Amino acid sequence: MSAVAQLSDGRRLRSERSRQAMINAALILIEEGNFAPTAKQISARAGVGIRSFFRQFEDMDQFFAAVDEHTVGSFWESFLHEGDREGTLTERLESIVATYAKAFEEHRSLLLATKSLRWSSRILKENYERYQQISRANKERWLREIIQLPVDDRELADAYLSFEMWHRLRDIQGLSCSAAQTLVLKALTRLLNP
């Protein structure tokens, strides 16, 4: 391998390491409660200069797209591929509520950051809208009974299993995970099995 090729490979590897360090730094900041980290905060936490940040990412939207690409697999795995989707309505209700509760807890900080930043980011706004559509379809496949409800009740079922409801119960009303899960299950049971 020529010296020029080795130099080029070395730069590419450093660039990839810097990029990953910035994504990791943003996720750490978000987990620590900084739901709207700036490029300056991210680059400082990653140990790179602010110029490196903007060499890697044209703007914050491009950065958010990279973070999404990094996290989307585990995010969707926790919602779409966990839980038991067979059995009686009661069994499926218990499974979906437990699965969504676990996923909301696991991805809570990232979801709060997305909610905080989506007003200023085209990428996050589009991702959030796509998430809503995929999540609704997942709920309706899991609980086929939702489709048979009147439109208003379908909206209510979607709302009961939303992060907004979970956030309200956990963070605003201060309920434990178990208590919030019990309330959501009770509300859905009343709606689907009156």
Same domain as 64, residue 50: no
- The two tokens of residue 182 are 């019990």
- Mean pLDDT for the stretch of residues 131-157: 94
Same domain, yes or no: 130 and 166:
yes
Per residue in 16-35, pLDDT (tens digit) is 888 889 999 999 999 999 99
How far is residue 49's CA from residue 33's CA, in Å, rounded to a whole number? 23
Same domain as 114, residue 153: yes
With CA atoms as reference, report the closest residue to 145 among 84, 82, 79, 92: 92
In a shared domain, residues 51 and 72: no
Query: Which tokens in the block code for residue 158?
Result: 């979607």
- One-letter identity of residue 55: R
Which domain covers residue 105, as residue numbers?
A: 60-192
pLDDT in tens, 158-184: 999 999 999 999 999 999 999 999 999
Q: What does the DSSP 8-state code read for residue 93?
A: H
* pLDDT in the model for residue 11: 66
What pLDDT does 4 receive?
Answer: 47
Over residues 28-86, the pLDDT tens digits come to 999 999 998 999 999 999 999 899 898 888 888 898 888 888 887 777 777 787 888 99
Q: Tell which of 57, 72, 101 closes a domain.
A: 57
Tokens at 135, concatenated:
């999540």
pTM higher than the cut 0.85: no
Whether residues 112 and 168 fall in one domain: yes
What pLDDT, in 10s, does the model give residues 71-124? 877 777 777 878 889 999 999 999 999 999 999 999 899 889 888 888 888 888
pLDDT of the residue at 65:
86
